[in-house]
Structure 1
């Protein structure tokens, strides 16, 4: 195997034709393959973002519709309190009891009216604590029995509560009082009947509602066969499931992951042995309700279209690659065949056959080169030719080296052209970012200026923060202030940007909220420049801050080893400032409340600025 590998390397290195074929194939295959991969990943992310955005809005609208429907049921239960002063109102009948046939008829009429207010109401159970009597309205019949035949599981702190979906039952009032009972899938709305002034519990009402409307609203929120929709309460009980079998097979792991979410709405990735995809959820909250609306979309379905598109593109590209590869081989052979002939001619010359002929009937550059070479070989000997070839190779290498150099001014001019084009197309944001990057490049290109006015350093930091703000999706606020006297002070280049960069390396974290950076430069005294860089990041552990501060306080801190990039950077800045001004320069680190760090630099001027020029050659 080693010999085969060595033979392949020798074959590749010794053949220009093989190199050319490999180069042409790579220049065709790699860009297209990378383009397909990038396009596929971008399409996947675009589809995912669009799906999440659209379905979040759809779920919110569905939640609004469900809450509106459940509010109608709540209002139906509150019909108990209508016409409180009427002795035949439901409230008065519960409080005083039904002592006569007329009062029983009024009880029937009130419950019938309540049942008809929402067409999905299956039956109503009512318990009057004052007369210790239970009533059940079902199938347009009202029957009663002494005592409390059913006790719902109600929280002490709630006046009303919804019970999860279950099979309807007879509430303890059954045959022979009712001739039959048809068990249906219902959810129950339980409400305490309270004395208006005192809050005393007068009774309990339970309303069974068929799930028809819940299913109808839910059916508009998902696509059967490709998506799953569930409604859960906070105890994990299923109110609605588009695929009940799948919900049971999935176990409680995904349900538990939903219940652990604290936000009112959102989405997250979920993966287990049976499912890998996105969960989108929306809370349904009311004083008597705490449900979750959940949609599950597997990646297998979500990315089906991008995969099919990529497969079609790949097939089309494969055909193109076959054609391109064939063309590359043909071009390589036609390009290198004259070179092969020329090599054979050289071999003949080396063997002493100086009269050998060279038959190349081509008028392109290779043909011209062969003819000129042939003419030269007729006039000069092998040694002169060898020297000529060495000199030609040397010239070629120098030319390639010159061509490989990149003029930074060209990059700057290119950025200005791109920015102007962005401005012409009305994209001011891109223009602003390119302008910031251009300022930073121009600042770097002025390598001959080792010291600059502080205002120039602040402009560089301003451009750097503008670019970082785009990186953090505008979730970054910054403020830069400097009085005129401070801005005119000469300082070493690149003393502020490393401090600000440390904020992004070690301070800013999305979990803490939007980042804030403040840079303030002022003359604390007529001859003392003060620079403050503050952020609201994670700050530093107190022990770590004290250790680093102790090193910064010592004059010999420039040589003190310290762990962490931020410590090395701060010591480097302090060392340069002390070399530029004097050993009186001080740097303090202070933690901010509730979190964050402030770096304070005090620079006594007093006519000592520039004691050491950073450009001085000390070698």
Structure 2
């Protein structure tokens, strides 16, 4: 896998694009989630701390009302029918018992949640119970509350209400309800002697109503504890389920009156927020338990929504990254396959690239370079093949060249000795032609050497046809120095005698003009006054000459000499830009026009070439 990754640009690109997309977004989501989580946590703690404080104030206010209700015992101390006097002196008459009923009824009506009131008078050792708007009594103390000796009043935790020992038949029925009890000692004002005990049962409706505004049922929990760890109130649990409150000790160990801390056990993981409720007769703790599941629900939902949106975006981005990677690297793959074909020797292999970006331009330029190299190889190969072919033909024509040359020189000398200078001139022209034709050491010569060869050829042809042949050769100095392939003019001139004029019957005229028509374009014109060519034949031959591929066609013509041969050699030697035109002359005749863009070959001259 590591080697595969290192050897593939496409895999690297896909990995880079995916990493550049996935990593920043993932890190952003993680940072956002953690920041949001901590922000929500701080917000929850701050808001719930304030809420708990307000709840504690409300609870204290409500409990203070109950405390004030119990203190109604000390109202109108001088009135003999006041509750205090009745407790201290006892109820000896029906009227006093009715006043006891009225006082307890007034006390019960002062707080609507009071379920019942139990009163014990120590002076007369008598117990009273006010419930269901009835007052019943019985001798003795039927109920003893668990009160601290240091306290005059104390609240008992939530429990099921009971009859305080005063049962049927005095009360026809009893409905047990969930209550908490407020116990108070009734003291003699001057001496502090205990005159009796009062227990008030209060329904938990108001505590639940106040508490319901402090927590969210189902996701949060609220508890009220005393400093001994007794459960005063629980939001959604059975108060008797003591094993469910193992966390209580951690609350009791907190030194501060209010605060929050992290708590975790097998059943709960979250935050405890607590607030103290303190008074001379009360020492409670208001505790709210917020699980992290609830605390972080909103950040998780927000993160989930963001994650879903980002996941869709990532899928789109990942798909786009893969597509971009494939589109980016596919031309490179094509280029590699093309190079493999080139390595196998197939230089004519095609490369299909339809892109216009940098890779497309690179591929096209590389393809054009290979095609150019292939053309240069083919051109050099064809030029070398043509040169070797001409050399072979020249070698085949060399029959003891030194003997022939020496023989011609001896005949010329003999003609000169006999005073026949014309024969000597003809023999000298023939010797020049033989020496030029038989030399195979150079494939190119200056144009001046080619013109000298043509002039010698025309001189011999003129001697053959007496005065019926006229020729003219014109050139400028710049054109004479241009390097050209050997034997490009003589075949054209020879065609004039083969297909154009017949000097033995009609006077013939041949004109050869070589000049530089532009700084780097050589133009050669060979014109005659012969019969010319049929127009259809001329157009057919011209179409063949106009094809660039004709430079790579097999050499045609008699003995390998012909117009296509000349054009092919010129294109191999220079470029495919060489053109040859055939034009009929008026009133008769044919003109062959050759245009040669020289380019880098302009002015080249082979110093080793025999100038004649």
Common topology (TM > 0.5): yes
Q: Secondary structure at the match of 1:330?
A: helix
Cα pair 1:63 1:293 within 8 Å, conserved: yes
After superposition, the Cα gap between the structure-2 partners of 1:257 and 1:519, relative to the gap in structure 1 and judged at 3 Å, is farther
* Higher alpha-carbon deviation: 147-156 or 568-577: 568-577
Measure the CA separation in 2 of the matches of 1:199 and 1:538.
162
Cα pair 1:582 1:608 within 8 Å, conserved: no
Q: Secondary structure at the match of 1:380?
A: helix
Q: How far does the alpha carbon of each residue in 1:227-273 deviate from its partner, in whole angstroms, 9 at most, with x for none?
A: 22222222333332222259838623122222322322222222222
Rg: which structure is higher? 2
Task: State the shift of 1:282 in Å.
Answer: 2.0
Task: State the shift of 1:327 in Å.
Answer: 1.8
Task: State the shift of 1:66 in Å.
Answer: 1.3
Task: State the shift of 1:11 in Å.
Answer: 1.2
* Higher alpha-carbon deviation: 146-155 or 478-487: 478-487
Q: Secondary structure at the match of 1:510?
A: coil
Aligned match of 1:4: none
Number of aligned residue pairs: 612
Task: State the shift of 1:166 in Å.
Answer: 1.7
Measure the CA separation in 2 of the matches of 1:429 and 1:302.
127
Task: State the shift of 1:441 in Å.
Answer: 93
Cα pair 2:442 2:609 within 8 Å, conserved: no
Q: How far does the alpha carbon of each residue in 1:143-187 deviate from its partner, in whole angstroms, 9 at most, with x for none?
A: 333332222111111111001112222223333433333332221
Aligned match of 2:479: 486
Cα pair 1:111 1:137 within 8 Å, conserved: yes
After superposition, the Cα gap between the structure-2 partners of 1:260 and 1:87, relative to the gap in structure 1 and judged at 3 Å, is same
After superposition, the Cα gap between the structure-2 partners of 1:69 and 1:557, relative to the gap in structure 1 and judged at 3 Å, is farther
Task: State the shift of 1:584 in Å.
Answer: 96
After superposition, the Cα gap between the structure-2 partners of 1:50 and 1:191, relative to the gap in structure 1 and judged at 3 Å, is same
Cα pair 1:580 1:613 within 8 Å, conserved: no
* Higher alpha-carbon deviation: 179-188 or 514-523: 514-523
After superposition, the Cα gap between the structure-2 partners of 1:395 and 1:112, relative to the gap in structure 1 and judged at 3 Å, is farther
Cα pair 1:580 1:609 within 8 Å, conserved: no
Measure the CA separation in 1 of the matches of 2:477 and 2:379.
69
After superposition, the Cα gap between the structure-2 partners of 1:442 and 1:329, relative to the gap in structure 1 and judged at 3 Å, is farther
After superposition, the Cα gap between the structure-2 partners of 1:29 and 1:101, relative to the gap in structure 1 and judged at 3 Å, is same
Measure the CA separation in 1 of the matches of 2:43 and 2:532.
37
Task: State the shift of 1:331 in Å.
Answer: 1.6
Task: State the shift of 1:404 in Å.
Answer: 74
Task: State the shift of 1:91 in Å.
Answer: 1.8
Task: State the shift of 1:499 in Å.
Answer: 104
Q: Secondary structure at the match of 1:363?
A: coil
Task: State the shift of 1:289 in Å.
Answer: 1.2
Measure the CA separation in 2 of the matches of 1:292 and 1:159.
20
Normalising by structure 1, we get a TM-score of 0.55
Task: State the shift of 1:541 in Å.
Answer: 124
* Higher alpha-carbon deviation: 459-468 or 237-246: 459-468
Cα pair 1:509 1:538 within 8 Å, conserved: no
After superposition, the Cα gap between the structure-2 partners of 1:610 and 1:379, relative to the gap in structure 1 and judged at 3 Å, is closer
Aligned match of 1:3: none
Aligned match of 2:80: 87
Task: State the shift of 1:534 in Å.
Answer: 115
Task: State the shift of 1:319 in Å.
Answer: 2.6
Measure the CA separation in 2 of the matches of 1:424 and 1:223.
143
Q: Secondary structure at the match of 1:480?
A: strand
Structure 2 residue runs without a partner (length 5+):
none
Q: Secondary structure at the match of 1:511?
A: coil
Measure the CA separation in 1 of the matches of 2:90 and 2:472.
73
Measure the CA separation in 2 of the matches of 1:437 and 1:92.
173
Ranked by relative contact order (alpha carbons within 8 Å, sequence separation 6 or more), the top structure is 2
Task: State the shift of 1:300 in Å.
Answer: 2.7
After superposition, the Cα gap between the structure-2 partners of 1:391 and 1:91, relative to the gap in structure 1 and judged at 3 Å, is farther
* Higher alpha-carbon deviation: 489-498 or 165-174: 489-498
Cα pair 1:450 1:615 within 8 Å, conserved: no
Cα pair 1:538 1:596 within 8 Å, conserved: yes
Q: How far does the alpha carbon of each residue in 1:518-561 deviate from its partner, in whole angstroms, 9 at most, with x for none?
A: 99999999999999999999999999999999999999999999
Q: Secondary structure at the match of 1:565?
A: coil
Q: Secondary structure at the match of 2:208?
A: helix
Task: State the shift of 1:60 in Å.
Answer: 1.9
Q: What's the RMSD between the two structures over aligned residues?
A: 43.4
Cα pair 1:584 1:603 within 8 Å, conserved: yes
Task: State the shift of 1:315 in Å.
Answer: 2.9
After superposition, the Cα gap between the structure-2 partners of 1:587 and 1:68, relative to the gap in structure 1 and judged at 3 Å, is farther
Q: Secondary structure at the match of 1:247?
A: coil
Task: State the shift of 1:25 in Å.
Answer: 1.2
Task: State the shift of 1:109 in Å.
Answer: 2.0
Cα pair 2:119 2:127 within 8 Å, conserved: yes
Cα pair 1:581 1:611 within 8 Å, conserved: no
Cα pair 1:186 1:210 within 8 Å, conserved: yes
Structure 1 residue runs without a partner (length 5+):
1-7
Normalising by structure 2, we get a TM-score of 0.56
* Higher alpha-carbon deviation: 368-377 or 597-606: 597-606
After superposition, the Cα gap between the structure-2 partners of 1:308 and 1:91, relative to the gap in structure 1 and judged at 3 Å, is same
Aligned match of 2:49: 56
After superposition, the Cα gap between the structure-2 partners of 1:12 and 1:211, relative to the gap in structure 1 and judged at 3 Å, is same
Cα pair 2:395 2:438 within 8 Å, conserved: no
Task: State the shift of 1:285 in Å.
Answer: 1.6
- Verify: 1:212 aligned to 2:212, yes or no: no
